[in-house]
Amino acid sequence: MWEVTENKNIFFLWVRWHYISQVEDIIKKWKNVILFTANYFSLPLLIKTYFSPWRRYKWSYGRGFNLTRYLEVLLSNIFSRFMGALMRTFLIILGTLCEILVFVLGFTVVILWIILPLATIIGVLFFII
């Protein structure tokens, strides 16, 4: 990571570390958190299986034809799919809100890291004056 720095000014080394090396590192970590959040909420899988039955609850129609049993199973399966869609909608909204929060917080951290030295200098000057 650190190369031989015999003839380099320490100020330029710090500027390079602060504005290049650390910003790249923060962005890599930010990307990992974004990917973790998407994986944690399984957003692609939730969207793919949107109308699947909730917790795979499915009722069998059984053998033969019984109209009462057929309608009961049909309504139960429709209800299970409705509950699956309802729960997945809630989880997709929650996951999307968490992704937005992670994105905004990561962007804020990067911006604050970039302006931190200037804010420190301004703060010290205002304290002295």
Nearest Cα neighbor of 91 from 52, 43, 55, 48 is 43
Helix axis angle, 67-128 to 22-41, nearest 10°? 160
Under DSSP, the state recorded for 64 is S
pLDDT by position in tens, the chain (length 129): 555 555 678 888 888 989 999 999 999 999 999 999 999 998 888 888 888 877 666 666 667 777 888 888 888 888 888 888 999 999 999 999 999 999 999 999 999 999 999 988 898 888 876
Residue with tokens 């992704």: 99
Domain ranges of the chain: 10-113
